[in-house]
Structure 1
Amino acid sequence: MGVVSGASYRFLMTYRDVASKKVLVWACTAVGARMPVAMAPLALVFLVRERAGGYSLGAVLAAAYVIGEIVGAPVLGMRLRPERGRVHLAVGLAVGAVGFAGLWVLPAAHPVVLSGFAVMAGAAPAAATGGLRTLLTSLVPERAVAQALSVESVVTAGVWAVSPAAVAGLALGVAPRVPLGLAAVLMALSIVGLWFLPAAWGEDGGAGDVDAGGRRPGASPLRVLAGAWPVYVTGAASLTLLGLSELVLPALLEQRGIAVGWSGPLLTGMAVGGGLGAFAYGLRRWPGELRTRSAVLVAGTSACVTIAALSTGTAGIAVALVVGGTLQSAAMLTRNLSLREALPPNALAAGYSVMYAAAGAGYAATGSLAGALLRVVAPSTAVLAGVGLTLTLAGVGWWGEARRAGRSGPGVDTDVSLAAIPGHRPSEL
Structure 2
Amino acid sequence: MAGNTYRALLTRPVLSWAAVAVAARLPVAMAPLALVFLVRERPGGYVLGAELAAVYVVGEVIGAALLGARLRPDRARRHLAGGLGAGAAAFAGLGLLPGAPDVLLGVFALLAGAAPAASPGGLRALLTEHVEPGLVAKALSAEATLNYAVWAAAPAAASALAFGLAPYAPLLLAAALMALAVAGLWALPGGWAADVSDRGGVSMLRTLVAAWPVYVSGAAAMSLLALAELVLPALLEQRALAVGWAGPLLAGYSLAAAAGALLYGLRSWPGRIGTQSLVLLLGVTGCVAAAALLPSLGAIAAALAVAGLLQAGVQVTRALGLRAVLPQSALAAGYSMMYSVVGAGYAASASLSGAVLGVATPAAAILAGVLLTLLLTAASAVGELRLARSRSRTPARPPGRTAAVRKGPAPAEQRTPS
TM-score range (shorter-chain normalised) is: over 0.9
Matches within 5 A, 1:173-322: 173-201=164-192, 203=193, 205-206=194-195, 216-322=199-305
* Counterpart code for 2:378: G
Corresponding position: 1:82 with 2:73:
yes
* Counterpart code for 2:322: L
Residue 136 (structure 2) aligns with: 145
- Is the Cα contact below 8 Å between 2:225 and 2:288 reproduced in 1? no
- Is the Cα contact below 8 Å between 1:68 and 1:122 reproduced in 2? yes
1:365 positional shift: 1.2
Residue 213 (structure 1) aligns with: none
Q: Deviations over 1:149-200 (max 9, x none)?
A: 0010010010011111111222222222111111111111111111111112
Distance 1:418 1:228 in 2: 17
Of the three residues 312, 322, 344, the one matched with 2:327 is 344
Of the three residues 162, 166, 175, the one matched with 2:153 is 162
Where in structure 1 are there 5+ consecutive unaligned residues?
1-8, 211-215, 423-429
1:218 positional shift: 2.0
Of the three residues 392, 396, 401, the one matched with 2:379 is 396
Alignment RMSD: 2.0
Residue 55 (structure 1) aligns with: 46
* Counterpart code for 2:189: P
1:326 positional shift: 0.9
Of the three residues 371, 388, 400, the one matched with 1:405 is 388
Sequence identity of aligned pairs in percent?
A: 55
Distance 1:306 1:13 in 2: 37
Residue 360 (structure 1) aligns with: 343
Q: Deviations over 1:14-48 (max 9, x none)?
A: 42331211111111100011111111111111111
Corresponding position: 1:21 with 2:12:
yes
Distance 2:309 2:404 in 1: 20
- Is the Cα contact below 8 Å between 1:144 and 1:417 reproduced in 2? no
Distance 2:279 2:349 in 1: 21
Of the three residues 349, 372, 376, the one matched with 2:355 is 372
- Is the Cα contact below 8 Å between 2:84 and 2:115 reproduced in 1? yes
- Is the Cα contact below 8 Å between 1:291 and 1:401 reproduced in 2? yes
Distance 1:171 1:341 in 2: 43
Distance 1:141 1:417 in 2: 14
* SS at structure 2 position matched to 1:232: helix
Where in structure 2 are there 5+ consecutive unaligned residues?
397-401, 410-418
Q: Deviations over 1:364-399 (max 9, x none)?
A: 111111111111211111111111222221211111
Structure 1 length-normalised TM: 0.90
* SS at structure 1 position matched to 2:200: coil
Distance 1:374 1:259 in 2: 19
Distance 1:418 1:241 in 2: 33
The verdict on how the C-alpha distance between 1:331 and 1:360 changes in structure 2, with shifts beyond 3 A counting, is: same
- Is the Cα contact below 8 Å between 1:206 and 1:344 reproduced in 2? no
1:419 positional shift: 7.0
- Is the Cα contact below 8 Å between 2:133 and 2:406 reproduced in 1? no
* Counterpart code for 1:397: S
* SS at structure 2 position matched to 1:79: coil
* SS at structure 1 position matched to 2:358: coil
Residue 124 (structure 1) aligns with: 115
1:229 positional shift: 0.9
The verdict on how the C-alpha distance between 1:269 and 1:21 changes in structure 2, with shifts beyond 3 A counting, is: same
* Count of residue correspondences: 403
1:281 positional shift: 0.6
Distance 1:248 1:420 in 2: 47
Distance 2:200 2:115 in 1: 28
* Counterpart code for 2:261: A
* SS at structure 2 position matched to 1:376: coil
1:421 positional shift: 7.6
Comparing 100-109 with 257-266, greater Cα deviation is found at 257-266
Distance 1:124 1:245 in 2: 29
- Is the Cα contact below 8 Å between 1:97 and 1:184 reproduced in 2? yes
Residue 416 (structure 2) aligns with: none
**Which 4+ runs in 1 deviate beyond 6 A?**
none
* SS at structure 2 position matched to 1:293: helix
The verdict on how the C-alpha distance between 1:233 and 1:410 changes in structure 2, with shifts beyond 3 A counting, is: same
1:280 positional shift: 0.7
Distance 2:246 2:160 in 1: 15
1:127 positional shift: 0.2
1:420 positional shift: 5.4
Distance 1:371 1:420 in 2: 50
Residue 427 (structure 1) aligns with: none
